[in-house]
Amino acid sequence: MLFHVRMDVAIPRDLDPDERTELVTTEKARALQLQREGTWVHLWRVVGQYSNISIFDVPDATAMHDLLWSLPLFPFMTVQVTALTEHPSALSANPAP
């Protein structure tokens, strides 16, 4: 099941710099792991913001929820999740005869 996810990150400015570095480092490692596994299918930065737009491929909404909660930066995120399904006018839904 595909999900479109927007993540806006707001790490507190007064967070200890070492803790911030550790969080960002572990977040990047987790994101790379999920991409290599094929779960985090697309990852785009939103220009000028500490935000991203991503596409995830997971079994269901519960798996999506659990994945988001597993992200090290999740406590500092505002997240918008939209479940996706194929559009009936998509080329993939209408193969050539």
Report the CATH number at residue 68.
Answer: 3.30.70.1060
Residue 49 lies in a domain: yes
Residue 24 lies in a domain: no
**Confidence band (pLDDT; 50, 70, 90) for 40?**
very high
Residue 45 sits in which domain range? 2-16+29-86
Residue 45 lies in a domain: yes
HSE on the CB side for 36, CA within 13 Å? 6
**Confidence band (pLDDT; 50, 70, 90) for 92?**
confident
Residue 65 lies in a domain: yes
Residue 97 has pLDDT above 80, yes or no: no
Residue 21 lies in a domain: no
Please tell me the distance from the alpha carbon of residue 42 to that of residue 60, in angstroms, as a whole number: 17
Q: How many domains does the chain have?
A: 1
pTM confidence score: 0.89
**Nearest CA among 81, 23, 22 for reference residue 53:** 81
